[in-house]
Amino acid sequence: MTRVAALDTKSLQQRTERTLAKIESTLNDVAAKKLSDEAVALLAELRKSNAELQATLANPTFKKLPESADAAIQKVRDLVARSEARVVDRPHGEHAVAS
């Protein structure tokens, strides 16, 4: 028991608390640095993606897509209408293509 009584438990407790506080602070700094680095990388990636999207949207070909799609749909409608106009009803319900 004399050995235990000889220990300065108050000093030992204070040192332990200071050490734990330093460890916690270091761990918090490491986590904050990692999060900060990841946030910076994410923002850089977002800026790059945004620039690529802006370039795509500014492309004259992209701007003409609605017109091109409308024209293509109209051509399909015209082809279908012409095909239907060529079909002639036969007496027994058969269809023949008019020449």
Regarding whether 81 and 33 lie in a shared domain, the answer is no
DSSP lists the bridge partners of residue 97 as: 87
What is the tens place of the pLDDT at every residue in 54-99? 999 899 888 888 888 888 999 999 998 888 877 755 555 555 555 5
CA-to-CA distance for 99 and 92, rounded, in angstroms? 19
Same structural domain, 21 and 38: yes
Number of domains composing the chain: 2
Rounded to two decimals, the pTM is 0.44
Does 49 score more than 80 pLDDT?
yes
**Pair 42, 87 in one domain:** no
Instruction: Please give the residue range of the domain that contains residue 31.
Output: 1-59
